[in-house]
Structure 1
Amino acid sequence: MLELRLVQGSVIKKVMESIKDLVNDANFDCSSTGFSLQAMDSSHVALVSLLLRSEGFEHYRCDRNLSIGMNMGNMAKMLKCAGNDDIVTIKADDGGDSVTFMFESPNQDKIADFEMKLMDIDSEHLGIPESEYEAIVRMPSTEFARICKDLSTIGDTVVISITKEGVKFSTKGDIGTANIVCRQHTSVDNPEDATIIEMETPVSLTFALRYMNSFTKATPLASQVTVSLSSELPVVVEYKIAEMGYLRFYLAPKIEEDEEMGGQQAQPAAEPTKPPEKKAKVEPETNGEAPKRRVMKIDLDEEEEEMKPTIAANGQTADYVEVVGSKPGTGIVKPKEEIIGDEDVKLSIEKETNGEAEVMDVE
């Protein structure tokens, strides 16, 4: 049996709004120590880690370790029905196929409950080792969100460089470049506005701004954000949750193409030479009808009968020949190659005639 009662219901609402666009389906792990989640995004580039300790709940009961599979989008829809000041209670039975959300108004005059079906999600629990980072920056979460948003209008990636002078965010795109430097400073009156840098060695890494902007959706959870960098580890963007836990995002750095290729540019392979393409002969447009051919019928007298054009192919003769570039009455016949059967046939003209020619249109 699992039963969680959270007075500050807005906390769980903000958590779901932060991760619902990054993670689709995930298992919530419930134990005696707390309520946790570890899941990767669909592209397996970013990792989300959530922990809500049992001490932060008004009432916390978990009889045995339990894994609850839920769709993040559906869970966010359920929690949207709760007011920001409502008390949220989550209940689930051992071996059950549903989870119940109950929302109570602060003065107890309204109680609403919603039941959502659970999912059977096959996922492995990822162990995240504790690591020491070369540089850690703590800065206002609103400032970090604004920097990521502004840089995304210029380029797709951000280079985060941490030195003694401060932390530098830079990007470049088709329209130009942008550089934003935040120097270390503290404020006694407003500690949440301080920027604190802890550095052992200078670090400079490149990350996708699309994921950084997705992480900044957790800005309402905390006034400060912690960014931990190391040259051989993913960046950690952490938002602490009201003394009861944290929401962490892990993102692997982008590797420049020059580094992948050892500083040398790959030469493209030579493409084989292609023979020139033969263009198809373009036939005149006929609107679906067979083209007409201009032919001439030659009237010859008896002496010229023996001199008329003949076609010497397969022992056949033809009384009709094609005339090219001739006008009626000239009697000039120009030979043209024709194909009869599978053999090439040529017209042989032995003599020009001065007879009259009759022009006919033949389909």
Structure 2
Amino acid sequence: MLELRLVQGSLLKKVLEAIHELVTDANFDCSRTGFLLQAMDSSHVALVALLLHAEGFEHYHCDHNLSMGMNLNNMAKMLRCARNDDDIITIKADDGSDTITFMFESPKQGKIADCEMKVMDIDSEHLGIPDCEYQAIVRMPSAEFMTICKVLSGIGDTVVVSVTKEDVKFTSGEIGSGNIVCRQNQTIDKPEEATTIEMQEPVSLTFALRYMNSFTKASSLSEQVTISLSSELPVVVEYKIAEMGYIRFYLAPKIEEDEETKP
């Protein structure tokens, strides 16, 4: 049996809004310590990993490991029943049942609503994501990163992310040339507005802006985004979810075609 109660129900709504356009169907794997979602997008280009710790819920009970397959578009629609940011969401699933129940409480208005959704049988396997050392780790305001991706997507389809000790540069240029440079800036008064760089060696990689723009839908979850880059690894774009956990997006860099292989 699974039963969890989230006082700040808006967090779960924001999570679903961030990923439901990228991933259609996915398994929520629940255990005593929390629940995890890991899924590829339909093109098998990007990977989403979500972790919510049990300690972040007001009430969390899961007496044995449980995997629930759900259509994320339908789940996002269900969660819109929580009309206010302070609505409380309770999720229940009984052993052997093919449905999951969502209950929404509005403390201010004294309203309670509930709805059921059928779970799906989704065949998927967990990919082993090892802990890696990255050549460069950039932390910057998530709103700023979102703006950069939106602006550059009007110029081209790809973005080159180049990191040095002093700054991170975002470049796009299919129809022209656009460069946006963010210098390292450790704002002490407002840490959430700081841009910080940890660099082992300079790195410059190219990514599809369509996916980067999709990742920025998670900006409402965190004031800061962490971008981890290494020439031999997918980029990791991470948003912390309050004290509950994180959502991470993985995207392989685009590899330029070798000049010698061109006809």
Q: Place the TM-score, normalised by the shorter chain, in its bin.
A: over 0.9
One-letter identity of the residue aligned with 1:198: E
State the TM-score, normalizing by the size of structure 1.
Answer: 0.71
- Gaps (5+ residues) in structure 2? none
Quote the offset at 1:81 in angstroms.
Answer: 1.1
Give the TM-score normalised by structure 2.
0.98
Instruction: Provide the aligned length of Structure 1 versus Structure 2.
Output: 262
- Give runs of aligned pairs for residues 27-38 of structure 1, distance below 5 A: 27-38=27-38
Q: Report the counterpart of residue 110 of structure 2 in structure 1.
A: 109
* AA aligned opposite 1:264: E
DSSP-derived class of the 1:233 partner: coil
Distance 2:183 2:26 in 1: 38
Match of 1:151 in 2: 152
CA distance in 2: counterparts of 1:106 and 1:249, whole angstroms: 34
Report Cα offsets for 1:56-80 as digits up to 9, x if no partner: 0000000100000000000000001
**1:45-194 matched pairs, under 5 angstroms:** 45-83=45-83, 84-107=85-108, 109-174=110-175, 176-194=176-194
**What SS class does the counterpart of residue 181 from structure 1 fall into?**
strand
Map 1:191-210 onto structure 2 (within 5 A): 191-210=191-210
Q: Is the 8 A contact 2:238 2:248 kept in 1?
A: yes
Aligned to 1:214: 214
Q: Determine helix, strand or coil for the equivalent of 1:147.
A: helix
Query: 3-state DSSP class of the match of 1:255?
Result: coil
Greater RCO, 1 or 2 (C-alpha within 8 Å, sep 6+) = 2
1:225-240 matches, within 5 Å, as 225-240=225-240
Once the two structures are superposed, residues 20-63 of structure 1 have per-residue CA deviations (whole angstroms, 9 ceiling, x without a partner) of: 00000000000011011000000000000000000000000001
In 1, distance between residues paired with 2:136 and 2:35? 29
Q: Deviations over 1:148-204 (max 9, x none)?
A: 000000000000000122000001112x11011100011122111000000000000
The Cα shift of 1:265 comes to 5.1
Cα deviations across residues 238-281 of structure 1 (Å, max 9, x unaligned)? 000001100000000000013xxxx32533xxxxxxxxxxxxxx
Checking the alignment, whether the CA contact within 8 Å between 2:165 and 2:198 is kept in structure 1 is: no
1:264 aligns to 2:260 (yes or no): yes
Q: Per the alignment, in what secondary structure is the counterpart of residue 42 of structure 2?
A: coil
Query: What RMSD over aligned residues (CA atoms) do the two structures have, in Å?
Result: 0.9
Tell me the distance in 1 between the aligned counterparts of 2:47 and 2:159.
19
Higher strand fraction (1 or 2): 2
Q: Which of these two proteins has the greater Rg computed from alpha carbons?
A: 1
